[in-house]
Amino acid sequence: MISAMEDVSGYVLGLDLGVSSVGWAAIQDDSGRPAKILCSGVRIFEPGMEGDISSGRAESRNKKRRDARLVRRQIDRRKRRKQKLLHCLQKLNLLPAGEPPEFMPGARKTGVATHSVPPWKGIAAPPLVP
């Protein structure tokens, strides 16, 4: 076996990365040509899939987490787009400064806007949905 302190020139490490295995071989190299295989091996592990892989009906075990992460990111992006639109409209003086409760994401769902909001600059507040 080659220790960490030895000179490793003259050796080649070959790797074969498969779906559920990793194969490796250490080859002695003489002037750019393989001379002999020093050692080799393979590590077979359980694939990260559930179902029948050979028929193509396999599904990643990480699918639930990935789908949940996708939904969280979509919600966050939508929230940021709404906030950006609100700030742009406020810069153009189409809406007053501040964060009005009815424009906050989820305000009507969580009951944040439970009281009527006075009209702004002659624009009537939308009616609240109970």
Which residues are bridge partners to 34 per DSSP?
29
Query: What pLDDT band is residue 86 in, cutting at 50, 70 and 90?
Result: confident
How far apart CA 24 and CA 41 sit, in angstroms, is: 5
How much of the chain exceeds pLDDT 90, in percent? 24
How far apart CA 47 and CA 21 sit, in angstroms, is: 8
Name the helix (H) or strand (E) containing 110: helix 107-110
pLDDT in tens, 3-18: 555 566 788 899 999 8
Question: What is residue 126's predicted lDDT score, i.e. its pLDDT?
Answer: 60
pLDDT in tens, 93-119: 887 787 665 555 555 555 555 555 555
How far apart CA 59 and CA 100 sit, in angstroms, is: 45
**If DSSP codes are grouped into helix, strand and coil, which group holds residue 18?**
coil
Q: How many helices (H) and strands (E) does the chain have?
A: 2, 5
How far apart CA 99 and CA 102 sit, in angstroms, is: 9
How far apart CA 58 and CA 51 sit, in angstroms, is: 4
Name the helix (H) or strand (E) containing 15: strand 11-17
